[in-house]
Structure 1
Amino acid sequence: MTKSIVVTGATGFVGRHVVTALLQGGYHVRALTRNRTKAGQVLPQHDHLELVVGDALSEPACADLAAGADAAIHLVGILRETPGQTFERVHEQATRNVVRACEANHVKRYIHMSALGASPLGRAAYQRTKFGAERIVRTSSLDWTILRPGLIHGPDGEFIKLAAAWARGLEPPHFFMPYFSRLEYVNGHRERVAPLTQPIHVDDVVRAIFQSLEREEAIGEVYPLAGSERLSWPELLEVVRDTIPARGPRLAAVGIPGELAATKARL
């Protein structure tokens, strides 16, 4: 019997790749989407793909989604808040709804997409609510696995699209350039340094989801996901400038002190 896998965030960057891989792997996929038309445009046409129209912020929609499923992959998340779509609602409340629906429908296996930097002490609400969602998962009765990816990239990803628009002069630099610098001790002196990132390709993230889903030893584990190369944000942006044809002046990366960024985020 074909296993039925629930996927939230199915029309997002990672979700599209996960759904495609699951279908290719012989799974039946129940994909939650708020827009059937968009889902039809970005997801493959397949006999084993079932679209469930609804929102992870809706308890009834989550209950309908989980009914009869064997496992769930929760990918819903945001990078910026909009009216009605706050970090607390999208990260924590949506996770609570999905977890409760899985528990009520005896869906034991659960894969949760979190993020590197998730912490109750994080400067940003993004980090704190990502950890809050993890706490909901950890205290559930589900057989969970938590994945913490860093910057995810791929040909159709938001990062590449935004980077290309910036490099080609189609987006103002402040939309893409700022990064949060921090103070560290270097040779005995406090200096402001750029944070490091280890970009990971979306295919590697999908592979990690598959392996977590199919291996019992992954139950109850938290896995950070990162690529092999460590880059500072200025170095990463230099790669973007050097690989994407630009039509404007070369712009330098602008660091924002972490303390200032945290203060601004609270305003």
Structure 2
Amino acid sequence: MPKLVTIFGGAGFLGRYIARRMAKEGWRVRVAVRRPNEALHVRPYGVVGQVDPVFCNIRDDDSVRAALAGADAAINCVGTFDKGGKNKFDAVHVEGAERIAKISAELGVAQLTHISAIGADANGDSIYAQTKAKGEAAVLAAMPDAVILRPSVMFGPEDNFFNRFGTMARYSLILPIVGAETKFQPVYVDDVAKAAVNATLGQVAAGTYELGGPDTQSFRDLMGTMLGVIHRRRLVLNLPFWAASIVAPISEITAKLSLGLIPAQITGDQVRSLKTDNIVADDAKGFADLGIKPVSMETLLPEYLWRFRPSGQFDAIKDSAKNLRTQ
């Protein structure tokens, strides 16, 4: 019988790419999510019955144990940017990660791959960075041979980064950002999926790998790259950290009072995160150690950001038409 992998958060942005690749490798794929009825899009990734969405709440031991029953490998893609509520940083990044690792060890799961993030640091300024680091430590305490992947900001057709700012550029003449000079190393989501699959197949040595794309740019330059792709001219306005620290609490309070109908545009923890560059450390293991050549963002951005152009898919045609000579 084909081997079985349980992917926690396997219907999310990164998880779906991993699920598709694992199915192509011939594995049975169990996609463990809180809302299986909203994860039906993963089923066509394999033959009938090969990819199966199942219910799982990583805050519950029995739920995680059921999701891991009979699994040969596990991949944890679950993460959050929410510091409050039941699924807050500690519950997801630390307790949830530890629960998955401990039960994996208990059940004899051979391989565990844990998705963390560049910047994970127990002494970091943000709660996000601190809890990511604590989660890594908990995973390694339970399964010392686990593979930990730390991607920079990920991009791809379903991303919430370039798509978010592309939407803003469509309706606003100003793009407000925080941390204009903070550096990022955007990485294609499917390159991260390749790394996770290689780890699951036992082709990667245990350890921690930081994954960044071939391009390193400041936040401001990333917005310039995006604007060039969507053929729009906008003012990129940097909001100083001191000002962002005032705006963030107001945004968070508004989100709470509206019961989430008006999502927080930025949080205080995100402001603190943006003070630190999000790039691969000089001494870190990365894609080169995994035998993967990462894809440049400029190669792929036009493939899905074209819809934010003034005339969408017809923008290039209209631009060419301007050069036609009239008789």
Paired position in structure 2 for 1:208: 195
- What do residues 134-192 of structure 1 show as CA deviations (whole Å, max 9, x unaligned)? 01011113530100100100012121321221121279845xx223x6xxxxxxxxxxx
For normalisation by structure 1, the TM-score amounts to 0.84
Q: What letter is aligned with 2:228?
A: D
Identity %: 26
Gaps of 5+ in 1: 182-193
Paired position in structure 1 for 2:44: 44
Equivalent residue pairs, number? 249
- In the TM superposition, 1:208-247 aligns within 5 A as 208-215=195-202, 217-219=204-206, 221-246=207-232
Give the Cα separation in 2 of the matches to 1:172 and 1:89: 37
Larger radius of gyration: 2
Paired position in structure 1 for 2:280: none
- 1:45 CA drift (Å): 5.7
Paired position in structure 2 for 1:62: 64
Partner-residue secondary structure (3-state), 1:139? helix
Give the Cα separation in 1 of the matches to 2:191 and 2:222: 19
Contact 1:111–1:145 (CA under 8 A) maintained in structure 2? yes
Greater share of strand: 1
Paired position in structure 1 for 2:127: 125
Give the Cα separation in 2 of the matches to 1:141 and 1:171: 50
Give the Cα separation in 1 of the matches to 2:28 and 2:141: 28
- In the TM superposition, 1:1-267 aligns within 5 A as 1-41=1-41, 43-44=43-44, 46=46, 47-141=49-143, 143-169=145-171, 173-174=175-176, 177-179=177-179, 194-215=181-202, 217-219=204-206, 221-246=207-232, 250-257=234-241, 261=245, 265=268
Give the Cα separation in 2 of the matches to 1:40 and 1:94: 24
Single out whichever of 104-113 and 139-148 deviates more from structure 2: 139-148
Q: CA RMSD in A?
A: 2.6
- 1:89 CA drift (Å): 1.0
Greater share of helix: 2
Partner-residue secondary structure (3-state), 2:236? coil
Give the Cα separation in 2 of the matches to 1:103 and 1:171: 53
